[in-house]
Amino acid sequence: MKKNNDWKDRLNVVYSTNPDFKFETDEEVEPDTLEPAKQKLRISLDKRNRNGKSVTLVTGFVGTADDLHTLAKKLKTKCGVGGSDKDGEILIQGDFRQKVLELLLADGYRARII
């Protein structure tokens, strides 16, 4: 078992004489990535707060940030456009709903256009 000696995580902690005391951090644990057949992805067109420009929005991804980034990179490359990925969402610049749906279905994901 690895000992946690990172003192920066324990700043502002008062010394405890309790022998059973364990310092707890507020770290969020990323969920494990579900296999593609169990993912329920929703594809939509979004124009809000984007100065009239439209983006294809893919939501509903359950998994790690690295897996989300990998999927986003693949979709952006296949569509030949830019975009971003954050907070479990993939944004692809432009209206590529049908193409994104075809790519996701080919990879085994459960996806639909809403």
Query: What's the CATH number where 94 sits?
Result: 3.30.780.10
Gap between the Cα atoms of 94 and 79, Å rounded: 9
Residue 2 lies in a domain: no
Q: What is the pLDDT of residues 101-110, one digit of tens each?
A: 999 999 999 9
User: 82 with 76: CB under 8 angstroms?
Assistant: yes
Gap between the Cα atoms of 58 and 89, Å rounded: 6
Residue 51 lies in a domain: yes
Q: Which helix (H) or strand (E) holds 97?
A: helix 97-106
Residue 88 lies in a domain: yes
Q: Which residues contact 81 (CB under 8 A, 6 or more apart)?
A: 92, 93, 94, 96
**Statement: the pTM of the whole predicted model exceeds 0.75:** no
pLDDT at 80: 95
Residue 69 lies in a domain: yes
Structural domain for 42, as ranges: 31-113
Gap between the Cα atoms of 104 and 13, Å rounded: 47
Across 5-19, average pLDDT: 68
Q: How many domains does the chain have?
A: 1
Q: Is 14 exposed, middle or buried (0-12, 13-18, 19+ CB in 10 A)?
A: exposed
Q: What is the pLDDT of residues 22-64, one digit of tens each?
A: 766 666 667 788 898 999 999 999 988 888 899 999 999 999 9
pLDDT at 109: 93
pLDDT at 50: 84
Residue 18 lies in a domain: no
